[in-house]
Structures are given as structure tokens and as C-alpha cells.
Structure 1
Amino acid sequence: MPSPIRPAVRNGRGAVSNPAGRFESSRAEAVDDGWGSLDEELPPLQTTVQPEPARSIITHNKSPDIPFDQSINPYRGCEHGCIYCYARPSHGFLNLSPGLDFETKLFYKADAARLLEEELSARNYRCSPITIGANTDPYQPIEREYRVTRSIIEVLARRRHPFSIITKSAMIERDIDLLAPLAKDNLVYTLMSVTTLSNDLKRTLEPRTASPAARLRAIRSLSEAGIPVGVMVAPVIPVLTDSELEKILEAAAVAGARSAGYVLLRLPYELKDLFGEWLEQHEPLKAKHVWSRLHDMRGGRDNDPRWGHRQRGEGQYADLLAQRFAAACARYGLKHRERFVHNTQLFVAGSTATAEDSRQLSLL
């Protein structure tokens, strides 16, 4: 792979570089022009946000190892900057880099609420739980201003439509006023992702996410409000975070989590190069050990995309990880095999606008 343009560590950013996406027609590499340009201090990297025109809002999947078939992603790209994010390669479809572009060139779905209303109003729509945030985080920092996730929840609440939320942000506490009433009817389930309890590791691994303590606080707040909440230890990174598995589950259980899950580190497409670059920059003494352990769990490869294997891995160490997880769940009273059963019987079908119009006409 060509050398990325101006590789350097940016404070508050996860990726070390900004390599070209796999669909781009040109490549570039940094070259010293003799004037010391490669040694110049790089200017601050600003985040830009643009509206993304969308024709639909609900995404459908038929993956046998994913426990939902409908999802909504309010944003494309994610400012959290998690170096391990499997959504990074999707920026290539926009002719943008999965590196720094992914965490600095963001897009929001301005018409999300309207599109959702239209899709839920379709005559052929059949109610099935929707997962919010399956790709990028619905509560990343720009949600404070754009409130796309909030608008989606408001539509689902009016429709009495069941849904789940996956996030690693404490900003979810803002929406407890909407979530708590829905929880009483089993319409909502929440998952908090906790990768590590180490603040030092978090600062480079997932630089703009909430602190581990803030995530545990959010679990407690959700639980105390009567909102079912689980913890996702995701991803589990061999050598770097796998030793924390039991501690994370214990802390989440004490905070009020009811269930737990985990996903082994996945490195599709360009992500393996970005993660390798991050390792050499931030964990050089552990890099070879990380790759060795990961290859043992991925059949000798950097990544294994096969259904049934990609989430958990294979081999002795993967089996040991699964056993440790099951034992810890039993020890701390966390469910890990039972899926939350959403209530689909309360869904308000049809066009809400038509219903309101008919009620008005009946008064004339």
C-alpha cells in the first residue's frame, strides 16, 4: 500500500493517517521535496458536517449472526474516532478515506424523521424491532446540535414501535424522558459498549468517546429509570483488552446492566492497515503479540468474514474467551443467551396524518 499522505499523530483523533479508499481512482504518497515540508507542523484538523440526502432511512439485513433485521443509522462517519470501527471502510463509497476522513468528514440525515414516518406508514410495512446505531454511534458529539437520533426516537415513540439503541456515549441519558415511558411496555432496549476501563488506553483507542466511568454512570441512570440495559464488551482486542473482560462485566452488573455480549475484533478491508499503523504508533511493544494472538483466532488471517466465525473467532483461545465470558455472566447474574423480547403488539400502523385528517373531517 502506498505511504499515506502526511502520516502523523493528531491529538484527539484515532487514525494515524488518511489513506485512499479502495474505490478511489488515484493514489498519492508523501515525498520529501527538500524543503523540509514533511517536518512542518500540521494544521489543526477540523470536523465538517454536511447533510446527506437519503431516499430511505431503514436498512434491512439478512445476516444470520446479527440479532435484528432492521436498523437506522442517523449519521455517516463518526467523530468518536475509534480505530477499530468496522464502519470505517464504508467511507470509501463516498470517495473518502476510512482514516481521518471517517472521523472528520461527517454526514447527517436531515430528513430522517420524515422518511421514517413515510416508511412506517407504508401499507406493506410489518412491525419488527429496529436497532439504532448498528453502524456508527447515534450519540456521537454532533448529536448535541443536530438531534437526529432524538427526532427518530420521537417518531418511534408516537408510533409505539419497538427499538434498541447501541452506543458508547453517556449522551443517551438526555433521552431518558422519552425512553422510560416506552420501557414500561417493553418497547425499548439499550446496550452500552464498554471496551476498556483504562482511561489511558481509551484516549488513543477511542479518543472522543465518553470515559469508562461516564458509561457506567449511564448504565446506572438507565437502569434506575426502569430502562433495560445491557453491556457490550466490544471489541475484545487480544492482549490489549481481553484481560479486562471479567472486570468490565462485574462493573456493568454493579451499575445495573441486565445482560451482556461480546464481539471479537474485526478488521475488514482497509481497517487491518489502519489498526496495524495504530499499533505501531501507540503499542509498538505489544504489536507482534496482538497480531499473533489474532491470527490464531482468525485461521491465520488478519480477518475472517465468515458468518458464525467473524463475531467470536475460532481455536483454543477463542474457546477460552467464550468460557470466561459465560462464567463471568453466571457469576454476576448477567443474561447472555436470552434475547430481549420487544412488544410488537402496540404499533400504530397506517398514516398518522391520514388519521388526524379523518378525525378533523368528522367534526365538520
Structure 2
Amino acid sequence: MLEEKLGMLEIDGSYGEGGGSIVRLACAFSAVTGKPFKIYNIRAKRDRPGLKAQHLTAVESVAKLCGADVKGLYPNSKELEFHPSEIKSGNLDLDVGTAGSIALVLQALMIPAFHASSEINIKIKGGTHTKHAPTIGYLQNVTLPLLKKIGYKAEINLNRYGFYPKGGGIVKARVWPSRLKPVTLTEKGRLEKIVGEAVATKGLQKARVAERMKEKAVELCEKVGIKPKIKINYVDAYGNGAAIDIFALYENSVIGGSAIGEIRKSAEDVARKAVERFSRAYRSKAPIDMHAADQLLPYLALATNVESGKSKIKVESISEHTKTNIWLLKKFLSVDFLVKGNIIEIKKK
């Protein structure tokens, strides 16, 4: 097509898992590579297709960061054009406007942000613990430590909790210019400790929601020989909410499992869901859990695209998200992915 001849990538937003991550990742890599793109069929496989609040905020934030010209940026839009300019340092103050996930907006920003000439300070208001997204605790305790291994420099601070469905949380992040390096990560190494946090709003303290999540999580973990140390935390927030994170720290890696409280879901059921997710990653011999794999791949692709050598990681499982990310990354970068079982190798073309 003519647009492709002029250098604009065309992306089918219904490919693979067909969700919002295609939009976020495309914007991030467009900012990094300078390649404009047009995406259609946005979130076509979702019950409510098109751009929602958190997707709009993610696109707007990356556009601000790189001075992009954007067309089609409005609620429920199913097509979008993104024409990036130069990534600049400075401060970003963002508001998702709902309980939309701060973590997902941060994921879009963190990829281009480390390419700036000096540090970038980011403040985002929205949901810190929401459905279908990593918790901020997961980003702090799993994502950042893994990224640090490849040279990424950032910090994330949770200033106010914001639970599904009301949000209102505040997160501040700082990202410094970084030089990434390829990595081989195929072994967990020695287990050092298993920790976690059961957090709930103060309005749920009489019902002992945090204690009940902790007690059930510890009970279920101990049945399979896992002995976590989980702290209890009651916090101020808009409305009521609860969540539990469980993390295992190894010599070479970190894995995690989380669950979010919902209306008509008991504290015990929330804990059960978190333990299910955590124990799958714990039983796996892979040092990268399923959700971390999706988050780590873009950075490893960037490291391999610039540096000589290759990256090799072993992941808990290859999800549809992972397959879709690989498909999209190959559109922006000169890298190849070789997937054998649950081993992913990334090398420059």
C-alpha cells in the first residue's frame, strides 16, 4: 500500500490476543524507532472494542513524551495514526480519570522514557490495583528487579492506593537514561525468601479482610510446602478495596502472583486466586513467570537490536500475549525470535 511505501507501518489490532497491549506497545516502539504507524481493528476481540480511558491515557502520555501527532484519539476509536517526533526529558503529570490501570500506562511510558537525554519524572493518578493488569507491587518487586539485570534504571513509588472500581491512586516514577544489555536467564538459582502483602482499605479492617487473605494464603501455601512471610497493610483510599501479592526471590530471578478483591468475592477467594497464580510460577523451573515474560521481551528486543550478542530466557509458559508481542516487535525492530518449548531466544537479524 502507498502508506507502507512511505514508511508507515500498518497494524491489525485484532491480531493474536487482540487487546490494548498492541496499541500501547506500538506507541512505545514508534516513539523509540521514529516509525509512524496506523492501527485498525483496535481491541476487536474485546466485549467493548475500541479505545477506553486507560488506552487513551497511555497513547496521550507517549505522545507527550515524543511530541507525536496523533489522529483518531477519542473514546471507542477503532483506528489510530501515530506520527512520533523526538523523545524529550521532563515531567509528566497524568490522570487516567477512572480506576484504569496505572501499571499499564507506565508500561507504555517506560519503554521510550529511558531513551531521553536525562531523567523523566512521571506522576499518574488512577488505579494501582485493578483487574486484568499487574499491581504496582508486582512492578516494584518483579518487573523492576528483572529489568535492572539488563541495565534499566528506574524507581516506582506508590504514594496513594487506588483500588478497582474507584481508583484515585497516585504513583510516581523516575526513569533515567539507560544502556540495555542482552541477558541469559534460564535458571532461578537458590530460593532466598518468599514474601507478600495483604492490603485492604481501612473501611474493611473490622471485617479483618487483610488478615483473612493472609491466613488463607499461608494455609494454602503450607499445604504444598511453601512458607511465605506476608505482611498486613490497611490503607486510606477512595471507596473500599483489597489485594494480595506473593513474591519469591531467587538468586537469579523473582516471580510473583497477585489477586484483586471484587464485590461479592470473599477475602479467602481472593487469596486462593493469588496462591493459584503464584504456585504455578513457583512449581515451574522457569525463572520468568508468565506475566513477566510479556513485560521483559520488549526490553530484551531493544537490547539485542542495539548490542551484539543474543538474549535467552526460560519462561513459565508462552501466552497469547507473548506471541502477539513477538509479532509486533518484529515489525519495529530488526530482531528474530526463536521459540522452543518455553525457551525464547532473541538475536539481531
Q: Which category of TM-score, normalised to the shorter sequence, fits these structures?
A: under 0.3
> So what's the TM-score if we normalise by structure 1?
0.26
> So what's the TM-score if we normalise by structure 2?
0.27
Higher strand share: 2
Q: Which has the larger radius of gyration?
A: 1
